[in-house]
Every structure is written in structure tokens, then in C-alpha cells.
Amino acid sequence: MADCQRGTASLASARLQPTRTFHIDAAEIRVLPDPAALARAAADEFSRLARESGATRGVFTVALSGGSTPKAIFNLLATDHASGASPLPWDKIQIFFGDERHVPPDHADSNFRMANEHLLSKVPIPAANVHRIEGELDAPTAATRYETKLRHVFHTATSAMPRFDLIMLGMGTDGHTASLFPGSSALDETQSLVCATWVEKFNSHRITFTYPLINAAARVLFVAGGADKTAMLGHVLRGDPSGQTYPAQQIRPVNGQLVWLVDEAAAGML
């Protein structure tokens, strides 16, 4: 019986390891076997950085992303806390959001609501450490207020750039990330940290981090999985043969690390 348990544990451990790791330009790509391993790897990266930054600097600043993949990551972090498997210094963690829909916090589409339901309400993080985007406000006002909030928490003057320990991002099948969509006016923003942008495909405003803020981070972590991402992931990391460019390609940390966690299904063109 003991031998069977050891064998099962070894197999589970092996499935959580990247099947391969390589670099494309400045980006590190780690390929995981399946969606479960992908979510686990992302949760482990969050936990590792939170502990390291909390211990060395007394604070861990992170911006969360929305979508289905982060939901699985948040569930794992909440489960880890409940089991005591991976204790984190929640009192030292400052939570932000890389983008938000133009909706109130209790709306089904709210990124804050999703994160709160699956993670934040399940861990002992002080309410003052959670900084949501006020999506219920007029979109430009929400963007301006969030930029002010960022500068206040990071103690940066208007001439300085806040530097996140970690910004988590996803990628859509159209190559968008955060709420930086193809053709969006936000793609050309060079001064603001946060901006309101109209997204034609959804006939709605979004509030999003801009390239300057994202690219100032110490670490940017993309998490992308599924066969529906295969072609776009290849175009973003290897280049589109047609020469077309996509928003996710412009994420290039100036003095930080860029890591892509992807599963085997998404990595088919890499």
C-alpha cells in the first residue's frame, strides 16, 4: 500500500512540472501538461513571490487578471489557505486589478466579484489591502481615481512609475490582454497608468492598466491554456506571417521578467 501511495505521489508531482522550458527573445516559456497543472503552477508562482517579497520588503504588490483561468488559480490559493498547505503573509499582500469591466462590484461580469468570491473572501487579507477599480463610476473617472489610488499606495510622485512585484495577465483569442484590445485607443497611451477605453466588440467601456505601467513591473506572468489559444499564442510569441501585431506582443518589461505559463494544448505552434 505504501509503495502504491509513493508511486501515485510521484506521478502527481511529475504532472505539475513543466514538460519543457525555453526562451523566445526575452520571454521565458514554461509548458505544463494540462489545465490543472497550469493553474497549479500559477498558484505556486504567486505563493512563492508573495513569501519572498513579504520576507524581504515587507510587502507584496500584485495585480490580478480576470477570466476563467484565474478562477482556477484563485480556487487553489483559497484551498491552500484552508488546508494550511501554503501559508501566505496576507497582511503584507496588496491586491490590485489589471482591468475591470464597466459594471458595479456585485455584477456577474465584475473581475473584482470573481476574485472576491473565489479567493479574497476566503483568506485573511485586510480589507484595506484590496484595491478594486470602481467600475460603477463613469469610466474616465474610475480610471483617474484608480491611478490616484496606485500612486498613493506605492508612494510615487506623478513623475515616477509604480513597480509591481507581479502583474498577472491572460490572453484572448484575438491577442488582447488586460483590456488592451486590437484597435483600442488604450494601445497608444504613453502617459497615464490607467485609462478608460471603448471596446467595440462588447459595445462597452473598460478600465485598464496601460503598457507603461505593465512594462514597469518586476515580473509579468501570462497564463494561457487551451487549444483555442494555439494559433494566437504562436503569432504572439513567434510572429504572425502576415506581419500583423497584437496587443499581447507589446508586453515587454523594461527591467523585469516576462514569463508565460501555457499548457500543451496552447503550445502547439511553439
Show the CA angle centred on residue 125, arms to residues 120 and 130, nearest 5°: 70
Statement: residue 14 has pLDDT above 50? no
The pLDDT of residue 16: 64
- Asked if 179 and 186 count as a contact pair (C-beta separation under 8 A), the reply is yes
With the C-alpha atoms ordered 26, 32, 36, 40, is the resulting torsion angle positive or negative? negative
Q: Is the pTM of this model over 0.85?
A: yes
* Residue spans per domain, the chain: 19-269
* Residue 12 reports pLDDT greater than 60: no
Residue 5, pLDDT above cutoff 80:
no
pLDDT tens for 164-178 read 999 999 999 999 999
Q: pLDDT, tens digit, for every residue of 206-227?
A: 999 999 999 999 999 999 999 9
**Sheet with 99-101, side-by-side order of all strands:** 99-101, 204-209, 194-199
Rounded mean pLDDT, 232-258: 96
Using CA atoms of 268, 28, 99, 228 in order, give the dihedral in degrees to the nearest 10. Answer: 0
State the Cα–Cα distance between residues 68 and 261, nearest whole angstrom: 15
Q: What gap in Å lies between CA 168 and CA 184, rounded to an integer?
A: 21
Name which CATH class applies to 19-269: alpha beta
CB 180 within 8 A of CB 208: yes
> What is the grid cell recorded at 9?
505521489
Q: Per-residue pLDDT tens for 110-165?
A: 999 999 999 999 999 999 999 999 999 999 999 999 999 999 999 998 889 999 99
